[in-house]
Structure 1
Amino acid sequence: MNLTHAHLADGRDIFFFDDEPRERTVEDPREITRPEGGNEMRFDPFLQEWVAIAAARQNRTHLPSSDQCPLCPSTPERASEIPQAQYDVAVFENRFPSFRGDEPVPADLLSTSDAEQEAAGLVQPGSGRCEVVCFTDDHTSQLAQATTTRMRTVVDAWAARSEALLQMPGVEQVYCFENRGEEIGVTLHHPHGQIYGYPFITPRTRRILDSAESYRQRRDSDLFADVLAAEQAEGSRIVRRTEHWTAFIPAWARWPVELQIWPNRPIERLPELTEAERDDFAELYLDMLRRGDRLFSGRLPYISGWQQAPRSASQGLMRLHCQLFSIRRAENKLKYLAGSESGMGVFINDIAPEEMAQRLRDLAEDAADPAAADPAAAGTASTEEEA
């Protein structure tokens, strides 16, 4: 792995992952300190969930002009968050983190607190870690435009940082994700994602683990393996299957576009991926991004992230998988989380998963042909057999 580790002027870590071996000298000339405002966590006794309070984030950079982008390379005239004139993939500690601190959440917190404390909302000091992942130094690019070599470097960065964060005190679960599009709520246009090191098991993951454990007890079987086998056998919701991965729209999809990409063998975390699995995913993922960009007019706004096993999860309950979903449901329509979704947590999907899977399958030829694809979607052609 072509990795350089350095520090920014205020002490934060920065890591450079290069496509090819490269010698780097990193010096941050800025006179900066970390923003004031501590991080705190408060416990919701009704939903049994933690809420992060991060007041400093209110002052984070919001949609700056391109010449003021903090993720572009530094120049002699302006020092950015990345003190290099050029980079491939850069990862650094977020200056405005949602989670920050190295004090783990006590496992026995509920049993050691009394009723009065729990009813008032338990409070813990901020913990965890947040990092920013820059996919390219080209401000006007998109991840869908990346070469397979660059995409593979991104996969390696995700895996390396997941492994490192899981070894840090105060980190229980690692989530690598990307938000794309102003419709989603991005505050920086430069192609980038984030990595959250949560100090607890997130609510979604907790429910998945509970469901997998219940299924194991009731069926004496692996929920992930059985769902994957059922999808592969049924076939109508599979978008593409390769040697190592299966991309499909789940039967229970909540979002208009909701793609899940699962490894064909049981893997719990990103660092466990083999070289061949990483190569295969890099090509498959770019193919899926390019198909998504041709679904509607313009680039698809999306959230994409990796679900991987928390540090304390029981062996064999979780299978690593990538979930990509979009709020766009038509050329000029977005899926808003209104009364039922936001108020009660009950989703209503306007597009049948089988229909969306077919639409994505039909885009294979265009997605594989750079001349026919959206200008944002040029790259290596897909060669695997379609489902």
Structure 2
Amino acid sequence: MTVDISKLETVAGTLYRRHFVKADSRSLWLYGYEAHELEPLAEEGGEPIHGGSLRWHPLRQEWNVYASHRQNRTFKPSAANDPLAPSKPGGAMTEIPFADFELAIFDNKFPSFHPDASAPTESIPGMALHRPGGKCEVVVYTPALEGSLATIGQDRRRLLVAAWIDRYEALFAQGHKFVLPFESRGEEVGVTLHHPHGQIYAFDVLPPVQTRMAAAFREGYDLSAEMQSWGEGYEVTRQGGLRAVAPPFARFPYETWIIAEEAVPGPWAFRAEQADAFAHLLGDLTRRYDALFGRPTPYMLSLHAAPAGEERTFQFTAQFYPLLRSPDKVKYLASVEQSTGLFTIDIMPEQAAAALKDL
């Protein structure tokens, strides 16, 4: 067996990446501090799904992706059928056909976007359609069935940051316009797989939020400087040249952002100290949320790095959107918020910063 292993010099030190092609032709990458040389277990083949289409919304001026095959994706499996766990010799196969691993990334079996997607086959008078090119990947933080960014430990968070950077570089090199690593945590957010994991979407069309962000930075908005002008009232904690803050314009109760004091376009531009601090803050904020609410906190986490061509002015942020107002109260997006985009926030950002800082 030929094993495709690369040695990487990263902000987390020397790491190893193994590329493996699954039986259905999807790619799997295994990252670790040790070279992964385990023998793969037998998989069933199959054809990967490429379908879907993008349709233009003429009033909101944005693309929406339609992918009906995702209706059949895995939904709340039992622990015994966890598709993100290591496979067991002689047992059921999972998405990762190895008995063990440190961190894994693989092509999503039910993607919204695909680099080989076909042009839309439907024809709708007056409507602009676009092929859903791009890429969707699943990031499995750990082989353990339970855990969080707070509990997986600093070494594994460093490994995660290095893997994100590696995928940023690969996906931009493939010509994608924007790359978004993200995590959804908790059933309140709509999570259907509880194994600790996130995802990466690579877009071939620039989403409207990032279009507006890029324009603001291009026109001279300096988020890092403004953050430092807010003072300590909005700061939760800081580490290694990065700060965790509750921005005064937050849209969710207890929303926090991680922002570099000296702006960087994306994690790929971090110094080793900044990368280490970023890994620490990801765990620290998750820990603070769980302590504040006394339970695993449902949230959405997204990494907003520069779209292709915007690296000179764009300023990177990692944004946490918790879905709780209190331990037993969910922040629902009501009709007026969904209809207008104008959010109503129940907790003042400075109150949120003070509550999280005290933990």
TM (norm. structure 1) is: 0.84
Query: Which position in structure 1 is the counterpart of 2:182?
Result: 177
Displacement, 1:229? Answer: 2.5
Distance 2:128 2:203 in 1: 17
Structure 1 counterpart of 2:348: 352
> Would you say 1:194 and 2:199 are equivalent positions?
yes
Equivalent residue letter for 1:229: Q
State yes or no: 1:239 paired with 2:253.
no
Deviation at 1:185, TM superposition (A): 0.3
Letter of the 1:339 counterpart:
S
Q: Is the 8 A contact 2:149 2:282 kept in 1?
A: no
Q: Residue 330 of structure 2: which of 323, 327, 334 is its match?
A: 334
Distance 2:125 2:240 in 1: 51
Shift of 1:354: 0.5
5 Å-filtered alignment, 1:52-67, equals 52-67=65-80
Worse overlay, 37-46 or 63-72:
37-46
Within-5 A mapping of 1:63-142: 63-76=76-89, 77-102=91-116, 120-142=126-148
In 1, Cα distance between equivalents of 2:117 and 2:106: 21
Q: 2:28 is paired with a residue of what secondary structure? A: strand
Matched, 1:146 2:152: yes
Please list the CA deviations of residues 321-380 of structure 1 after superposition, one character each: whole Å capped at 9, or x if unmatched: 1001111001211111112211111001000101110000110xxxxxxxxxxxxxxxxx
- Post-superposition Cα deviations, 1:17-66, rounded to whole Å, max 9, x if no partner, equal 11x22242453522232355612111112222111111111110000011
By percentage of residues, which structure has more strand?
Answer: 2
C-alpha distance in 1, partners of 2:204/2:118?
A: 6
Instruction: Give the Å deviation of 1:312.
Output: 2.8
> Structure 1 residues 103, 60: CA separation in 2 closer, same or farther (over 3 Å shift)?
closer
User: Any residues of structure 2 matched to 1:1-16 within 5 Å, and which?
Assistant: 1-16=15-30
Any stretches of 5+ residues in structure 2 without a counterpart?
A: 1-14
- The aligned counterpart of 1:111 is none
What residue is the counterpart of 2:60 in the other structure?
A: 47
2 CA distance for matches of 1:210 and 1:26?
A: 49
Counterpart residue number, 1:228: 227
In structure 2, distance between residues paired with 1:228 and 1:11 = 46
2:11 corresponding residue in structure 1 = none
Give SS of 1:291's match. Answer: helix
- Would you say the 8 A contact 1:128–1:197 is kept in 2? yes
Q: For 1:243 and 1:143, how far apart are their aligned partners in 2?
A: 19
CA-to-aligned-CA distance 1:244-283 (integer Å, 9 cap, x gap): 2011000011101211001122211222222221112112
Asked if the contact 2:234–2:247 (Cα under 8 Å) also holds between the matched residues in 1, the reply is: yes
**Percent pairwise identity:** 34
TM superposition shift of 1:317: 2.4
Task: Check 1:362–1:11 CA distance in 2 against 1; reply closer, same or farther (3 A cut).
Answer: same
The residue that corresponds to 2:216 in the other structure is 211
Matched pairs, number: 341
The verdict on how the C-alpha distance between 1:23 and 1:208 changes in structure 2, with shifts beyond 3 A counting, is closer
- Output the CA distance in 2 between the equivalents of 1:130 and 1:153: 20
Question: Could you list the runs of 4 or more consecutive aligned residues of structure 1 that deviate by over 4 angstroms after TM superposition?
Answer: 102-105
Alpha-carbon separation, structure 1, partners of 2:26 and 2:48: 12
Q: 1:274 to 1:34 in 2, by over 3 A?
A: farther
Name the counterpart of 2:161.
155
Q: Is the 8 A contact 2:217 2:315 kept in 1?
A: no
Cα separation, partners in 2 of 1:104 and 1:209, compared to 1, 3 Å: farther
Q: What is the Cα-based RMSD across aligned positions, in Å?
A: 1.9
> What TM-score, normalized to structure 2?
0.90
Determine if the alignment matches structure 1 residue 254 to structure 2 residue 278: no
1:266-277 superposed matches below 5 A = 266-277=263-274
Task: Tell me the equivalent position of 2:309.
Answer: 312
CA contact (8 A) 1:174 1:195 kept: yes
**CA offsets per residue over residues 273-329 of structure 1, 9 Å max, x none?**
22221112112221111011111131110111100111132x432111100111100
Query: Larger deviation: 322-331 or 281-290?
Result: 281-290
